[in-house]
Structure 1
């Protein structure tokens, strides 16, 4: 990488564009580095250039990377007519009816419709489901030998979101259980590379993704018919029934295609990132005996302050989703000392903020005590992004992680290890423990109270 100087770009706005330092390498080279070593690239450029710098990659084009909490806050809180949804975005994987596809007023309307099933009393009602799925999955876990927790966590979180979305269990959801995991794995990898003009047949990755989507749409269509035919439809409190009954302010309802896209968004985003964070949680606490001892002691009570602090610290110390982006719509967007022209993308490097923010002394150290007695700063703790596009399922995910972790701690003794921490592995969008979050467990003779 060569040292860069401040780039100046002509613009028709009143203020000339004034951009941060830029990486001076050909676009294809930058793109390859971004796809295969995104986190290392961003960390290296942040060390060299500071809290803001420019890259030029094939998918997002000319992009400003932000690694500073205050600049991130300014971006997240900017008016939606100034900066909007990054282009391209996950809607090319999840579908045009997904909340990821929407912008401005349409995005706000959709979020208002999706919020009730994922917050407050609705999430409280799911706690039993989270515990049941954890107990069911853990019934046959091996004892006294290392095993990877990531895949079991994937199954727990998938089954939990399926039950929350459809209000039922059993064979009718088996088709989705066979479709969603490989679809998520493939979609996560394809989401970080440019889309081809066509799928080029069923034997290509994009062709396989389209085939999964076809099977998914057929299954969802049958499930919608079943829900609508339920004599107790008006009494159901599952997410699908709530969406089918919901209407916008003008009385219109979501179409079937939009509902299918939103459910796919919930099923995909609602289980992989949560499971990945849980995998990291087990990897982290097994290497920190003092943290584990406090968690076990607390699990025998009705408290969860330290468990919540541990979850917050796992999200900070091992950030699963490392970026959140916007697209500049106005002729020029002022961000700190910089002036960014229309057409640029602005990406917040979430992992860098978690490592560099002044809020976190000795940031490499894993220490839940940072969050004991105080909630994380919404500026410096951003695992779910921020602003109007903050993850709508954040509350659901947080409660689920809390219940799953509590249930495992009550029923199993986790052995500690002095082994080095697992390396970070990229699954495309999400970052997971390279060995799958391995732990050694032994079932307790009697569960903790």
Structure 2
């Protein structure tokens, strides 16, 4: 293929117009552009600049396998630094990112995650016990409560009742930011201005609580025996002088809250939204939950994340010219592997609009054809944690309540900051409660066994 120095073709709209369109109809704009221009095209908006979208797995492999000094993901995520902090693992690049990522691996190793399965099951069971019976309700807020509690107790390790209550109150309000708050996060200098006083207060309160947790952990005489992620992060580098500062620990905690809270909750909400519209699959899912068939539950989660990816794409900003897809792209351009376009490709997934968990059974998934967690050296650090959490929570739901099916149209993806949520909150109806034995011990046994067999 010959190489051209021109950018790939794309819509000739003013950048501000493209920004407004993407703010409202992001995946739809991308899908329409792909139909018009093919598997590589350029979108230019006033916030992100020139974005070269990629839908060919071979081109995406070039990005994911590329030199981290050239493909900057942290720079592409810089708009989040106003909330996450400038030392967050999401907004740094090159050697600094590599070292920080390594220091954060321990809490997300398979054995460490498996040890948290019982807590996940307990939290889910307690929440499900309060679900209404016989009337429709949006399950997305319930899933958000579950995933937030999982993070507070397993990642942050919060145990003080007053502080836990305060965190439960402030974090959902801080993380449920809209376009107005997002503007100030992207431009931190705005946070000090009057219109964003509420956001400033929420951030200050969250920081106060997180710094208190950090201080408690540093002073804990039993620090070496603790299994929460914060304790592990405090212990890293303590012997050689490379330990994180309080500010660095705060940035990683808020990052884990942002990256692992709404995303996992949204994936679980989509799973129930899909299952309740497919009666035969719901029956199979309930049977799998009752029989301890984690392979099928995992297949449901994987297919859910394929057909309804929570994040539509990932980006890398080029620090020097690179040849991709027959184009020599200049420095400063953002290359964007499109998760939605790859997952909707009929050549990769026949009948891609069909929700079909069986396609995931025994499948060897390529990191460039199934990429809900991104890829390369920037693949989501907590991907394994999220998949175990989805399996455990889905299993608890299916074992503890009987869900009604529906013939209503599927819910549309709605843009919420950078994720795609069900536009009605994934409304479901519980027919009745089911009598089950305690699932916590079983969760530990099955998850540990599954991880040991991998």
TM-score, normalisation: structure 2: 0.91
Any idea what SS the aligned residue of 1:228 has? helix
Equivalent of residue 425 in structure 1, options 414, 423, 426? 414
Q: CA RMSD in A?
A: 2.0
Matches within 5 A, 1:84-99: 84-85=72-73, 86-87=75-76, 88-99=78-89
Cα distance 1:67–1:16, how it changes in 2: closer, same or farther (>3 A)? closer
Cα distance 1:135–1:224, how it changes in 2: closer, same or farther (>3 A)? same
Any idea what SS the aligned residue of 1:25 has? coil
Paired position in structure 2 for 1:343? 332
Any idea what SS the aligned residue of 1:353 has? helix
1:301 aligns with 2:291: yes
Deviation for aligned residue 1:271 = 1.0
Equivalents in 2 of 1:224, 1:43: separation in Å? 44
Equivalents in 1 of 2:314, 2:269: separation in Å? 22
Deviation for aligned residue 1:18 = 3.4
Higher mean displacement: 321-330 or 414-423: 414-423
Paired position in structure 1 for 2:354? 365
Structure 2, unpaired ranges of 5+: 440-454
Equivalents in 2 of 1:277, 1:50: separation in Å? 29
Deviation for aligned residue 1:357 = 5.4
Paired position in structure 1 for 2:40? 52
Equivalents in 2 of 1:116, 1:201: separation in Å? 37
Paired position in structure 1 for 2:449? none
Equivalent of residue 226 in structure 1, options 189, 210, 216? 216
Paired position in structure 2 for 1:439? 428
Equivalent of residue 404 in structure 1, options 377, 390, 393? 393
Paired position in structure 1 for 2:313? 323
1:135 aligns with 2:125: yes
Deviation for aligned residue 1:22 = 2.6
1:171 aligns with 2:195: no
Paired position in structure 1 for 2:375? 386
Any idea what SS the aligned residue of 1:167 has? coil
Deviation for aligned residue 1:91 = 2.3
Equivalents in 2 of 1:193, 1:151: separation in Å? 25
Deviation for aligned residue 1:193 = 8.5
Deviation for aligned residue 1:230 = 1.8
Equivalents in 2 of 1:70, 1:276: separation in Å? 29
Paired position in structure 2 for 1:244? 234
* Cα pair 2:286 2:399 within 8 Å, conserved: yes
Structure 1, unpaired ranges of 5+: 1-14
Any idea what SS the aligned residue of 1:186 has? coil
Paired position in structure 2 for 1:261? 251
* Cα pair 1:317 1:364 within 8 Å, conserved: yes
Higher mean displacement: 168-177 or 217-226: 168-177
Deviation for aligned residue 1:203 = 4.6
Instruction: Number of aligned residue pairs: give it.
Output: 433
Paired position in structure 1 for 2:113? 123
Equivalents in 1 of 2:46, 2:54: separation in Å? 19
Matches within 5 A, 1:3-42: 17-42=5-30
Deviation for aligned residue 1:187 = 6.5
Any idea what SS the aligned residue of 1:56 has? strand
Equivalents in 2 of 1:342, 1:388: separation in Å? 20
Paired position in structure 1 for 2:445? none
Equivalent of residue 71 in structure 2, options 58, 80, 83? 83
Deviation for aligned residue 1:338 = 1.4
Cα distance 1:209–1:17, how it changes in 2: closer, same or farther (>3 A)? farther
Any idea what SS the aligned residue of 1:64 has? strand
CA deviations 1:369-394 (Å, max 9, x no partner) are 11012242221111001101111010
1:68 aligns with 2:56: yes
* Cα pair 1:67 1:348 within 8 Å, conserved: yes
1:280 aligns with 2:270: yes
CA deviations 1:234-283 (Å, max 9, x no partner) are 22121111111101996411111110010001111111000011111111
Paired position in structure 2 for 1:209? 199
Any idea what SS the aligned residue of 2:407 has? coil
CA deviations 1:12-69 (Å, max 9, x no partner) are xxx8623211321111111211222211111110110011111211121112111222
* Cα pair 1:187 1:209 within 8 Å, conserved: no
Paired position in structure 2 for 1:333? 322
Equivalents in 1 of 2:192, 2:205: separation in Å? 16
Deviation for aligned residue 1:428 = 1.8
Equivalents in 1 of 2:149, 2:387: separation in Å? 16
Any idea what SS the aligned residue of 1:204 has? helix
More helix by share: 2
* Cα pair 1:188 1:429 within 8 Å, conserved: no
Any idea what SS the aligned residue of 2:269 has? helix
